[in-house]
Structure 1
C-alpha cells in the first residue's frame, strides 16, 4: 500500500510451528511463534521502520491491533495507516508505525464466544480522490452461517479519526436476507435510508439478484464479496465470486460490478471469459484501482487486465506470452497514488513498481520493461543482502511492538 508521501507499507506474516514443542517453551531457538509484521519503506526502497503485532502464541491480547481474517491496509487522507480485518476490526496506526492511535473492534467472535456488541468500523477501506472512504462491512448470518461475513458496501463522507467514527452510508449488499439476526446485530454506524442496517433492512436488490441466472449451479448462494475499490468519487467496483467448491472452480461465475454512490449497478467490467480468464485458479481475487485516471486493474494466472471508467477492457496481457510469463509469480496488491502498479513476488518477497502509462495501449511495453528490470535488480539485491530462502533481513530500522 502506497502513501501520498511516496512511502510504501507492506503487511505480511512470519511464523514457526513445531508440533512437539510446548506452548510454554522458553528457549527462543525452539519456541513456536507467529506475528504479523508491517514494514514501511521509502520511495526508493529503504526500510524505515517495522511493527510487530497480532501474536499467534503467548498473550494474544498483548497487541493493540485488532486481528482478524482478510487483514488489509489503507492509508487515510491524513496519512494515518488503517489496518482492517473481518469482521469490522479497524486499527489506526501512526504513519511512522510507532504507536496505535485507536482501535475500533466489533468484538464479534461468533460462533466461538458469546457476542457483546463493540464499536467496530469496517473490514476494508479504500479512499476516493476527494477523501471519501469506501468500506466493506460484515454481517452475521450471511447465507445462514453462524459467523460474520462481508455483506455490505458503503461509503462515508466524514473522516475516520482516533476520536471520530463516521457513519457509513450503505449502498449495496450481497445476501439480502441474512439469517438469525437480533437487535444486537443492528449496525449503529452503518445506515441505509436513515436507519441502521440489520435484521430485514439493507440495500435491495442485492448485487447477486440481477444476475441470478448466471450461476445456474448455486444461484450465487454462498458467494463471497471481494474488496471493493473506488473508480471515481461516485463510482466503485465491487467484486463478487460464486461459491467455491472443493473440486475445480475454473469457469465458476464472478462479477466485477460497477456501482454508483446512489447504489445503482450501472454496469460491470467487461471482456473476461469465465473459463479462460478465471480468477478462481490460484484464487486471485484482488482488484487495484487508479481513481485519479479512472482505471482499474486485475491480475490472475492468465493475464493482466486493465479497464477504463466505463468498464471497457482496454488492455489484456496474456501470461502465456513469453514476455509476460513471469507475471504468474506476482500478486497485484494496489496502485500507488500516481497510478503505478504494485506487484509482490510470492516466493521472492520483493515489491515491483510498474509505471502505468496514461495511454493504456502502452501498458504492455511498460510491464515488459519492468519485468526485465526486475531480473537485474533482484540479482543486485541478492548479492547485497544475501537472503536465505528469499527471506530478507534488515537490522538498521527501528522495530515497534504494537
Structure 2
C-alpha cells in the first residue's frame, strides 16, 4: 500500500506505551491488507518519526502471497521486520483451535485491543460472520501479556445468550488505572477484574437496563467513566464507575434516568430535526 503507515489502531497504556494493531497482506488468503498483528511500541510517535512496533501476537500465522515488498520495517519480531515466515507463533487462532474446529476461526477478525494494565491487554477475536446471521459464533476476549503469552480470558460469557454478533457490538474498553474491562452489547453490560473474572452483568432484558441496548460503548475515560453513545439520538452518556463493581447497577440506573431527563430538556432547547442537533449560529455544510 502507498504512503507511510504506522498502525490501524492505537491505544495508550498508563505509562504511555502504544498498544497497536497493524495489517498484513494475504491474511486468510485475501488479496489485500487485513489487521493481523498486535504489537507494543515504547517510543514516542511524532510527525517526523515513528517508533518500532514489537509484535507480540498474530491472528493468521501464515498469510498467503507475501513478498519482500510487503514487509514493514517499523513492525518487528525478534529484531526483524514482520512478514513472510517471521511473526509471533503460535498465533491466536492456533491457541484457540483445541476448543473448537479450526474451520470456525478461518476468516476470523481482530477487535481493537484494550490495555487493562501496562503489560496486560484484552485482545478480542471474533469468528467469521454470515449473511444469514452469526449469533452463536465463537468469540474470545483473550488476556495477552506484553511478551505475547495468553494469560487467560474474560470469562462468564455464553456464545448464544451473550453474543456480540447481535448488532455487531465488538468493542471492549478498559480502565487501566483500576484494572478493569467492560463490554456492552444488545444483551447486557459486562464488567471484569484484571484476572478476567466477571464482576457484574446488567441484563438488557430487564426493564431497568433495557435502554442500554440502544447505546454503543466507545471508551473509558481517564477518570474511570464509561462513555456511551446513543445509536440514533447522537448523544453521549457518561457513566461514573464506582470502585466496587458490585455497585455498578445502581450507578448505571441513575445515569440512564438522568439521561432521559436531560435529553428532554435538550429537545426543548435545541429542537433537533430527526435527532440531529443544530445550533443556529453554526453554518452547516453538506458534503
| TM-score (norm: length of structure 2) | 0.96
Structure-2 change in CA distance of 1:397 and 1:290 (3 Å): farther
Alpha-carbon distance in structure 2 between the residues aligned to 1:135 and 1:143: 20
Residue in 1 that maps onto 2:245:
360
Matched, 1:208 2:93: yes
Structure-2 change in CA distance of 1:396 and 1:304 (3 Å): same
1:18-59 per-residue CA deviation (whole Å, 9 max, x = no partner) reads xxxxxxxxxxxxxxxxxxxxxxxxxxxxxxxxxxxxxxxxxx
Matched, 1:254 2:143: no
Residue in 2 that maps onto 1:162:
47
Higher RCO, 1 vs 2 (CA within 8 Å, ≥6 residues apart): 1
Alpha-carbon distance in structure 2 between the residues aligned to 1:217 and 1:247: 21
Offset at residue 395 of structure 1 (A)? 5.4
Alpha-carbon distance in structure 2 between the residues aligned to 1:388 and 1:288: 32
**Unaligned residue ranges in structure 2 (runs of 5+):** none
Alpha-carbon distance in structure 2 between the residues aligned to 1:153 and 1:217: 21
1:343-362 per-residue CA deviation (whole Å, 9 max, x = no partner) reads 00001010000000011000
Residue in 1 that maps onto 2:6:
121
**Unaligned residue ranges in structure 1 (runs of 5+):** 1-107, 109-115
Alpha-carbon distance in structure 1 between the residues aligned to 2:229 and 2:158: 25
Structure-2 change in CA distance of 1:252 and 1:151 (3 Å): same
Alpha-carbon distance in structure 2 between the residues aligned to 1:173 and 1:263: 9
Offset at residue 217 of structure 1 (A)? 7.2
Residue in 1 that maps onto 2:204:
319
User: Is the 8 Å Cα contact of residues 215 and 242 (structure 1) preserved in structure 2?
Assistant: no
Is the partner of 1:323 in helix, strand or coil?
Answer: coil
User: Is the 8 Å Cα contact of residues 110 and 126 (structure 2) preserved in structure 1?
Assistant: yes
Residue in 1 that maps onto 2:116:
231
Residue in 2 that maps onto 1:192:
77
Runs (4+) of structure 1 moved beyond 6 Å?
397-400
Is the partner of 1:376 in helix, strand or coil?
Answer: helix
Alpha-carbon distance in structure 2 between the residues aligned to 1:119 and 1:248: 37
Offset at residue 397 of structure 1 (A)? 6.6
The number of aligned residues is 285
Q: CA RMSD in A?
A: 1.5
Residue in 1 that maps onto 2:27:
142
